[in-house]
Amino acid sequence: MVDKAISLSDLVAGQSACVSHITGRADHVHRLEEFGVRGGTKIKMFRPGNPCIIRMAGNKVCLRSDDLLRVLVRPV
Amino acid sequence: MSPPPEQTTLTVALVGNPNTGKSTLFGVLVGVHQHVGNYPGVTVEKKTGRMEDAGRRYELVDLPGLYSLAPRSRDEMIAVDILLGRVKDCPPVDAVICIVDAGNLQRNLYLVSQVLELGLPTVVAVNMLDVAKKHGITVDLERLERQLGTPVVAIQANRQIGIARLKALLAETVTSKSREGETPFPEPFEDEVTRLEAFLAEHWGNDRRPLPRYLLRRLLLDVNGYLEGVLFPQRDATLRGRLEAARARLGETDYAVPAVETAARYDWASRVLDGVITQPSQYKTTTSDRIDRLLTHRIWGTLIFALLMVVVFQSVFVWAEPVMGLIDTATEAVGGWVEARMATGALQSLLVDGVIGGVGAILIFLPQILILFLFIAVLEDCGYMARAAFLMDRMMARVGLCGKSFIPMLSSFACAIPGIMAARVIQNERDRLTTILVAPLMTCSARLPVYALLIAAFIPARKYLGGLLNLQGLTLAALYVLGIVTAVVVALVLKKTILRGETPPFLLELPSYKWPSPQIVFYRVVQRGWLFVRCAGTLILAVSIIVWAALYYPHNAEVVEAPYHSRQQQFQARLDRLAVGDHKREEISRQLAQIDRQIAGAYQRQSLLGRLGRLVEPAVRPLGWDWRIGCAVIASFPAREIVVATMGVIYNLGEDLDIESEEGATQLHLKMRSATWDGTDRKVFNVPVALSIMVFFALCAQCAATLAVIRRETGSWCWPAFTFAYMTTLAYLGAMVTYQVGMWIGT
């Protein structure tokens, strides 16, 4: 269960996770990675929903994903 | 004292992620010597400033805040071009100051790696170590400098700590010989770049300057084709084939583009940061987190946001009112002063009615605009704006826009100009354009005088629910709703038609809250306010003069004034006969003034504009308007609110009419109510006609300043022309439907 990657939107407030991978158009994924959201990034859900707010190293980020761009995470 | 001629100015670019304190550092370094303009040909803000240190002169260029030097939009392209010295009229960059956030070094180093690749002398300024410390993060700066291979300095920009050391390092670095551009890319990728370089050299021969290697790498990485389109506006099929083949070859290895870039740069960043940072395994809850728990809450956060906006708008109207009154009085006084000191004639009229009246019409909105800029600047600088965008994103996404469009739209309720200028924060070009194009549909304060006049004169003051609601108030509310609903529909249509396209992911950093810096807020308000005055002022002046001329010429005094002469002389003679204290004098003076107004009205009727009004009457008849209304609407092209004064003049009341005073308003109301179609007893105004005019003004683009600002912000006359065309069409159709349906219900 812990090993399975779930969608970012399935995280509840306060839950910590690690980004597993991102699916979507190559340039959109690239933009997300440049922003610091990439495989291996440790995150914590601050405000779930769409858009959601996630806590990352040193900052908070607001992110809206859709069917074309999905962030998959592994809860820790 | 002028500097010795042999001394040259060194150009230094300031680069950094957004929210790293870059603007603060810029302000600290250059102080009052800053200047805001535009890069040639594009509407990206160009912020430059002068700095002197140890006998050296520097020109500092503040580049837009970026997460990456990958050109995918105009501001990213400009930043890259500046750094590569490819912008006309901008000197090549001699050195770079790269400011990074100590709390987020990993991501900030991504940008640093791109900067270092350019091979320019670079100083890395680590800012906000104090905030990072609160988060439990410590940074070993000496080790960072060693592993990075470029000078590193700790600063605290908001407290001006470390600035002297930064300047010293800059002086040292700038004179050192330029460094070798480092590449973090793996060999197979670099091989492809070399191959591309050879191909282009052969393909072009000596016709074109070879591209910097940085751009060649970017060409390969830019799968979206933006850079290709910019560098090769005439699509080159051979090049396209080459690029695709190279990408395909890389795709077969482990180095597929564009993922190879992030992998390579973050690997590099990890190596550089090895042993540099110590951070807790768990994120510490910060003050910002505690504030955000409330302010980003779906219910409480939204409620606080709504309350905040109410306060902002209250202040905009309440604070601006006395100043607006002052400006109004001052304009009148200046006009009167000039009028009294000049001979009657065309020049006097041009100065008083055209120039002073036109400038006054624009200055009167300046207080509101500046107050709005002030609020926007404060909210931006303290970090709240990102939270507002988060809260509003869900709603705006339904219209096809993102949360950042909300504040520009909301500002447009006071005035479309700050709204359109505030749309700069929207990175996505299509969203930004859509926001700009629908912002003028929001009911701005210039529409209020028009509504106030017509509602008071023609909408019955009926009360409902025991006085809780009244028809006049409901009409006003309905006009606001009309603007909003139309904006939503237009935005949806635009996003589905001419501005269709894939939306890039909506990403927004929520910076830690901080106290707004008075200096940054002050400069932002002053610079934006000045941009507005300069750009709108010149255009509105030109348009005001044209409209004035159309209302003044042909000025045939003999023909127009002759029919009034005998009566005028009669009254004047009686007035001269009466003794000074006689109570009849007042009555006769009033009669004389009335004749003056009638003469003014007669001039208007035979003016070019009056004739034009008659000419367009068939076109405005389906709207229920007579030529006089048509005329007033044409005259109000520079600014909507002018229609009130023009109607007053055309309906023979003289332009001194003060709509604020109860008495003047009643006079105009009566006059308008009794106006008839030429040569008949049929009344011009009834409820459907009044509604039709108001609907027209709710939807039309009768504001030269707005159109000028759209031109400035979009860099082309196409968009203001489009805005004017679509809004005028909507206004015409809306007014026609209103009148026709109104008449149908009425009968």
CB contact under 8 Å between A64 and B386, yes or no, is no
A4 to chain B, closest Cα gap in Å: 22
Give the residue extent of every domain in chain A.
Answer: 6-75
User: B34 and chain A: CB distance < 8 Å anywhere?
Assistant: no
Interval B533-548: pLDDT, tens: 776 677 767 777 887 7
- In whole angstroms, what is the distance from residue B352 CA to residue B338 CA? 7
CA B139 to chain centre: 40
Helix, coil or strand: residue B143: helix
Homologous superfamily assigned to B9-175: P-loop containing nucleotide triphosphate hydrolases (3.40.50.300)
Please tell me the predicted confidence (pLDDT) of residue B447.
86
Give yes or no for residue B665 having a pLDDT over 60. no
pLDDT higher than threshold 70 for residue B650: no
How are strands ordered across the β-sheet holding B34-38? B34-38, B45-53, B56-62, B9-16, B95-101, B122-127, B152-154
Q: Cβ of A50 and B394 within 8 Å?
A: yes
pLDDT range class, residue B451, cuts 50, 70, 90 = confident
From B512, which residue of chain A is nearest by alpha-carbon distance?
A59
pLDDT of residue B658: 42
- Collapse the DSSP code of B158 into the 3-class scheme (helix H, G, I; strand E, B; otherwise coil) and give the result: helix
Q: For B680-698, what is the mean pLDDT?
A: 88
Q: Please list every residue in chain B whose beta carbon sits closer than 8 Å to the beta carbon of residue A35.
A: 67, 107, 507, 509
Contact between B298 and A59 using a beta-carbon 8 Å cutoff: no
Q: Residue A31 burial (CB < 10 Å; 0-12/13-18/19+)?
A: buried
Residue B5 has pLDDT above 50, yes or no: no
Instruction: Specify the range with the lowest mean pLDDT, choosing from B239-248, B432-441, B607-616, B650-659.
Output: B650-659
Q: What is the pLDDT of residue A4?
A: 78
Confidence of residue B654 (pLDDT cuts 50, 70, 90): very low
Residue of A nearest to B280 (CA): A57
pLDDT band at B666 (very low <50, low <70, confident <90, very high): low
Six token digits for residue B6: 């042999």
CATH code matching the domain that covers A6-75, chosen among 2.60.40.4070, 2.10.109.10, 2.30.30.90, 3.30.2020.10: 2.30.30.90
Residues 34-73 of A with CB under 8 A from B: 34-38, 44, 46-47, 49-51, 53, 55, 57-65, 68-69
For the ranges B19-23, B288-292, B591-595, the lowest mean pLDDT is seen at B591-595
Q: Is the pLDDT of residue B611 over 60?
A: yes
d(CA B25, CA B642): 45
The alpha-carbon gap from B292 to the nearest alpha carbon of chain A, in Å, equals 9
In this complex, the residue of B137, B262, B283 whose CB is nearest that of residue A34 is B262
Query: Within its chain, how far is the Cα of A40 from the centroid?
Result: 10
pLDDT exceeds cutoff 70 at B79: yes
Determine the Cα–Cα distance for residues B448 and B659; give it in Å rounded to an integer.
12
CB contact under 8 A, B510 and A53: yes
Q: Do B223 and A26 touch (CB under 8 A)?
A: yes
Cα distance between residue B430 and residue B396, in whole Å:
14
Q: Any residues with CB less than 8 A from the CB of B359 and at least 6 apart, and which?
A: B331, B537, B540, B541, B544
- The band of B727, judged by pLDDT with boundaries at 50, 70 and 90, is very high
Scanning every residue of chain A, which has its alpha carbon at the shortest distance from the alpha carbon of B279? A57
Residue B334: exposure state from Cβ atoms within 10 A (0-12, 13-18, ≥19): middle
B393–A64 CB contact, under 8 Å: yes
- Stronger pLDDT, B320 or B124, i.e. the higher one: B124
Instruction: Say which residue, B550 or B144, is predicted with more confidence.
Output: B144
Average pLDDT value for residue range B515-526 = 89
What are residue A16's DSSP bridge partners?
A44
Asked if residues B711 and B719 have their Cβ atoms less than 8 Å apart, the reply is: yes
Q: Do B510 and A60 touch (CB under 8 A)?
A: yes
Do residue A62 and residue B507 have CB atoms under 8 angstroms apart?
yes
B228/chain A closest Cα distance in angstroms: 15
Number of A–B residue contacts, CB under 8 Å: 116
- Check: CB of residue B510 under 8 Å from CB of residue B386: yes
Beta bridge partners of B139: B277
Which of B101, B259, B506 minimises the CB distance to A51? Answer: B506
Contacts of B542 (CB under 8 A, 6+ apart): none
- Taking the CA of residue B48 and the nearest CA in chain A, the distance in Å comes to 27
CB contact under 8 Å between A59 and B70, yes or no, is no
Q: CA-to-CA distance for B68 and B108, rounded, in angstroms?
A: 9
Task: Look at residue B707 and tell me whether its pLDDT is greater than 80.
Answer: yes
- Which tops the pLDDT comparison, B125 or B508? B125
CA distance to partner chain A, nearest, from residue B268 (Å): 14
Pairing, β B506-510 against β B469-470: unpaired
Query: What's residue B474's pLDDT?
Result: 85
pLDDT confidence of residue B657:
42
Q: Is B509 in contact with A29 (Cβ distance < 8 A)?
A: no
Q: Do A60 and B224 touch (CB under 8 A)?
A: no
- Residues 505 to 534 of B: which have CB under 8 A from any A CB? 505-512
Per-residue pLDDT band at B3 (split at 50, 70, 90): very low
Compare all CA atoms of chain A with the CA of B508 and give the residue at the minimum distance: A62
User: Of B83-87, B172-176, B411-415, which has the strongest mean pLDDT?
Assistant: B83-87
> Does a cis peptide bond (omega within 30 degrees of 0) precede residue B258?
yes
Q: pLDDT-based confidence at B90, cuts 50/70/90?
A: confident
| B409 DSSP 8-state letter | H
pLDDT at A3: 60
The residue of chain B nearest to residue A45, with distances taken between CA atoms, is B283
Query: Encoding tokens for residue A11?
Result: 């995280």
The predicted complex's ipTM stands at 0.94
A53 vs B107, B279, B390: nearest CB: B390
CB-nearest partner of A62 from B289, B298, B508 = B508
A14 interface with B at CB cutoff 8 Å = no
Which stretches of chain A drop beneath a pLDDT of 50?
1-2
Structural tokens at position B309: 């906006």
How many residues belong to chain B? 747
CB contact under 8 A, B106 and A57: yes
pLDDT digits (tens, 9 = 90+) for B471-512: 888 888 889 889 999 999 999 999 889 888 777 788 889 998
First to last CA, chain A: 11
Average pLDDT of the residues of chain B: 85
Answer whether B259 sits within 8 Å of A32, measured CB to CB.
Answer: no
The Cα B471–Cα A7 span in angstroms is: 52
Mean pLDDT of B696-704: 91
What share of chain B has pLDDT > 70, as a percent? 94
Neighbours of B699 (CB within 10 A): 26
Select from B244, B390, B399, B427 the residue whose CB has the most chain A CBs within 10 Å, as the one to mutate to test that interface.
Answer: B390
3-state secondary structure of B425: helix
Determine the number of helices (DSSP H) and then strands (DSSP E) in chain A. 1, 6
Q: In the prediction, which pLDDT does B655 show?
A: 41
Secondary element (H or E) of residue A56: strand A52-56
Q: Which residue of B has its CA nearest to A71?
A: B505
Kindly state the tokens that stand for B445. 């304060």
Nearest to A27 among B258, B266, B507 (CB): B258
Decide if B261 touches A, using CB distance below 8 A.
yes
- Please check whether residue A26 touches B, CB under 8 A: yes
Residue A19, by phi and psi: left (phi above 0), alpha (psi -120 to 50) or beta?
beta
pLDDT of residue A12: 93
Contact map slice: B 212-231 vs A, CB within 8 A: 222-224
pLDDT of residue B551: 79
**pLDDT at residue B136 is higher than 50:** yes
Alpha-carbon span B156 to B24, nearest angstrom: 10
Interface touch B259/A63, C-beta < 8 Å: no
Residue in chain A nearest B129 by alpha carbon: A58
pLDDT of residue B673: 76
Rounded mean pLDDT, B284-311: 90
Residue A22 identity (one-letter amino acid): I
- Residue ranges per domain, chain B? 9-175, 187-254
Distance CA B187, CA B193 (A): 10
Range ranked top by mean pLDDT from B226-240, B267-281, B308-322: B267-281
CB contact under 8 A, B507 and A55: no
Average pLDDT over residues B54-83: 89
Contact yes or no for B507 and A31 at CB 8 A: yes
pLDDT at B742: 92
Closest residue in A to B403 (Cα–Cα): A51
Six-digit token string for B374? 């002030």
Q: Identify the pLDDT of residue B733.
A: 96
With an 8 Å Cβ cutoff, is B192 touching chain A? no
Asked if the Cβ–Cβ distance from A55 to B223 is below 8 Å, we say no
B668 pLDDT band (50/70/90 cuts)?
A: low
Distance CA B346, CA B342 (A): 10
